[in-house]
Amino acid sequence: MTKNLAAVAARHTELVSIGDGVATVDIAPAAGGALASYRWWQDGAAVDWLRPADPAAISGRDAGAMACFPLVPYSNRIRGGRFEFAGRTIQLPTTADDPHHEHGHGWRRPWVVVRHEASAIVLRYRHAADSWPWSYEAEQEITLADGRLCMTIAVRNLSDAPMPVGFGLHPYFPSTPWTHVQAPVSGMWEIDAEVLPVRHVLPPAGVDPSVGFDVSEADFDTVFTGWTRRARITWPEQGRRLDIEAEAPLDFLVVYTPPGEPFFCAEPVSNITDAFNRTGGGINTGCIVLEPGQRQSASVRFTPSLAV
């Protein structure tokens, strides 16, 4: 009993919550501004639309084990953590476990709650120039309305020089044997052994997201191009559906389906993997350049439904 009470106390210390009478969202500001859960309540039972974080992830502030975390100032990997921009070489810190400085800063650092209402919250992260030689500010606005979740992410350049940037969201969804994904796309990037893009190709016929595929039959860790910013996830054996609608410039969809895991990812993002090293040559990498003081934002809406 004492251990359970301690766990509950720790949970409430780490999390803040919003709700609208249909859904609740738990947020862990100290864990990279990540969501710990997004669930509906039906007859006292939880229906999780994102993979819920367990107590160890919450107490350990492990953003990568949460329900969703923000991607700033870029999505996915930069080869060797190194790129050239405006005549200068940028070298980000790398380790054996993180050789490409994956997903930037936002998920690694605590965020501050700047506004908290019953069904809405705003989080902020400010980055001071370091190995990433630009200062910037990122914000997340998370709102619930009639059970629907809307997440708006924004980045503002606080430095006195242009800054390359990308951003997006990294949600984890529950995976069952029959989970199905449909998302209109036109292409994808083949990857090498380090999950870095090597060649732009057509989606594979057997598991083409435009047609739809079962998560259990796919083995993806890649970025899809030509995405219409719409996706639908269904759990037919549970009578559940989740529609995702993103705004420009979140024009790419990263799909990660690790075999045998009870989760998968479908990530609305603004840039391809290693975008800063692939500018030029007529390839749409999604690399955005923010002028001093300029701000870029986009929203992603999650609309669940249950079969009647």
- What whole-number distance in Å separates Cα of residue 205 and Cα of residue 222? 15
14 vs 89, residue with greater confidence: 89
pLDDT value of residue 2: 41
Domains of the chain (ranges; CATH) run 2-306 (2.70.98.10)
Q: What is the pLDDT of residues 147-163, one digit of tens each?
A: 999 999 999 999 999 99
What's the sign of the alpha-carbon dihedral 213, 216, 222, 227? positive
183 vs 3, residue with greater confidence: 183
> Residue range 280-290: average pLDDT?
89
pLDDT at 234 over 80: yes
Distances (CA, A) of 113 to 171, 189, 305: 20, 37, 30
pLDDT at 3 over 50: no
- Tokens 């639309």, residue located: 49
pLDDT value of residue 130: 98
- Mean pLDDT, the chain, whole residue set: 94
- What whole-number distance in Å separates Cα of residue 255 and Cα of residue 262? 15
- What whole-number distance in Å separates Cα of residue 232 and Cα of residue 49? 12
- What whole-number distance in Å separates Cα of residue 279 and Cα of residue 224? 17
pLDDT at 253 over 70: yes
pLDDT value of residue 5: 37
Q: What is the pLDDT of residues 172-217, one digit of tens each?
A: 999 999 999 999 999 999 999 999 999 999 999 999 999 999 999 9
pLDDT at 25 over 70: yes
Work out the percent of the chain whose per-residue pLDDT is above 90.
92
Q: Cβ distance 272 to 197 under 8 Å?
A: yes
Q: What is the 3-state secondary structure (H, E, C) of the chain?
A: CHHHHHHHHHHHHHCEEEECCCEEEEEECCCCCEEEEEEEEECCEEEECCCCCCHHHHHCCCHHHCCEEEEECCCCCCHHHEEEECCEEEECCCCCCCCCCCCECHHHCCCEEEEECCCEEEEEEEECCCCCCCCEEEEEEEEEECCEEEEEEEEEECCCCCEEECCEEEEEEECCCCCEEECCCCEEEEECCCCCEEEEECCCHHHCCCCCEEHHHCCCEEEEECCCCEEEEEEHHHCEEEEEEECCCCCEEEEECCCCCCEEEEEEECCCCCHHHCCCCCCCCCCEEECCCCEEEEEEEEEEEECC
Contacts of 275 (CB under 8 A, 6+ apart): 74, 166, 285, 286, 287
pLDDT value of residue 182: 98
pLDDT value of residue 1: 37
pLDDT value of residue 280: 74
- What whole-number distance in Å separates Cα of residue 34 and Cα of residue 7? 19
> Residue range 63-73: average pLDDT?
98
pLDDT value of residue 13: 58
pLDDT at 12 over 50: no
pLDDT at 43 over 90: no
pLDDT value of residue 6: 42
pTM recorded for the entire structure: 0.94
- What whole-number distance in Å separates Cα of residue 177 and Cα of residue 111? 36
Token duo for residue 140 = 């997340």
pLDDT at 9 over 80: no
